Amino acid sequence: MAPITYLSFVVVVVVLPVTVLSVALAVTRRFHPAQLSGTALLAGVALVYTIPWDGQLIRVGVWTYGSTLVGRLGVVPYEELLFIVTQSILTGLWTALVDRPDGSGAVTRRQRALGVLAGGVVGIAGLTALSFPSGTYLGAILVWAAPVFGLQWAFGWPILVHRRRTVGLALAVPTASLWAVDRLAIGLGLWTFSPTHTTGIALLGLPLEEALFFLVTNAFLVQGLVLLGWVVEREAIPTVAEVVDRTVDRAK
C-alpha cells in the first residue's frame, strides 16, 4: 500500500471539515460579516507570521517530514502552508458559528498594562526554556506567542474573561480535533520530532509541544475574532462613508 501523502492528509482532515463548516454557516446564517472578513485577515496574518518561525525550527532540526511532500517554499513544505491557512479558516468558521459578537464592557489603562505584563511573562518563560536544548521547541512556541498574546490581552483581556464560555467553546473543539489529527499524523510518520530539541513529555503519544502549539495558535484566532466582534459591536470601527465625511468636515 502506498503511504498516505501529507497533501491528501490535509485535504481529508482539515479541508473537508472546513467545507462542512462553510455549508453549516451558509445554511444557518449564524455569522456576523465581520467574522468572515476577520477570518480571512487572520489566515493571511497567520501565514506571514508563522512561515519564518516554522522555517527556522525546520532548519534547526526540531522536526523532519516524511518523503511524501509535493514541494517546498524554502524549507517549508507547500502542504504546511495549506495546513496553516486551513487551520485558521477552520477555527475561524467554528468561532463564527458559536460566537455572537457582544459590544458590552470596557478596558481600563491599568488592565491594558496588565495584559502587556502577562504577555511579557509568557516571553520570559519561553526564553528560560530556550536556555536548555530540550526546551528549544517549547521555548520557541512561547517566545513566538508572547507578542501576540501581549497585544491581544492589552487590547481586551477583560472582554475575553467576560466572554469566557464562548471563548472556551470556540477554543476547545478545534483544538481537541487538531490534537487528534496531529497524533494521527505522527503515527503515520508524516512528521517526526527530534528528541534533542523536545522535552519528551507526551500524552497518549502527542508531544507536549504539539499540544501547546495548537492551543496557542487557536487562541490567537479565537481571541482575535472575539475581540474584533467586540470592537465592531461597539461601532468603534468607522465605515468608509464615515471616514469620508470626517475627512470632508476637517477640510472645510
Residue 238 is predicted with a pLDDT of: 53
At 103 the pLDDT is: 86
What is residue 31's predicted lDDT score, i.e. its pLDDT?
A: 80
Res 67: pLDDT? 77
Instruction: Decide if 112 is inside a domain.
Output: no
Q: Is residue 91 part of a domain?
A: yes
Q: Is residue 149 part of a domain?
A: no
If one counts every other C-beta atom within 10 angstroms of the C-beta of residue 143, the result is 19
User: Cα–Cα distance between 130 and 142 in angstroms, integer?
Assistant: 9
Q: What is the pLDDT along the chain (252 residues), one digit of tens a residue?
A: 557 899 999 999 999 999 999 999 989 887 888 889 999 999 999 999 999 999 999 999 999 998 789 999 999 999 999 999 999 999 999 999 999 888 888 899 999 999 999 999 999 999 999 999 999 999 999 999 999 999 999 999 999 999 999 999 999 999 999 999 999 999 999 999 999 999 999 999 999 999 999 999 999 999 999 999 999 988 755 544 454 455 555 655
Domain count, the chain: 1
Picking from 98, 82, 125, 87, the residue whose alpha carbon sits closest to that of residue 35 is 98
- Residue 43 domain-assigned? yes
Count CB atoms within 10 A of the CB of residue 134. Answer: 16
pLDDT of residue 241: 43
**Residue 11 forms part of a structural domain:** yes
The reported pTM is 0.90
- Residue 118 within a domain: no
Say if 218 falls within a structural domain.
yes
User: How far is the C-alpha of 57 from the C-alpha of 65, rounded, in Å?
Assistant: 12
Which residues span the domain enclosing 211?
6-105+163-251
Closest CA to 225 of 93, 111, 105: 93
Question: 217 is written with which cell numbers?
Answer: 495558535
pLDDT at 61: 96
Q: Which long-range contacts (CB under 8 A, 24 or more apart) does 203-210 make?
A: 206/179, 206/182, 208/138, 209/137, 209/138, 209/141, 210/179, 210/182, 210/186
Give me the pLDDT at residue 161, please: 96
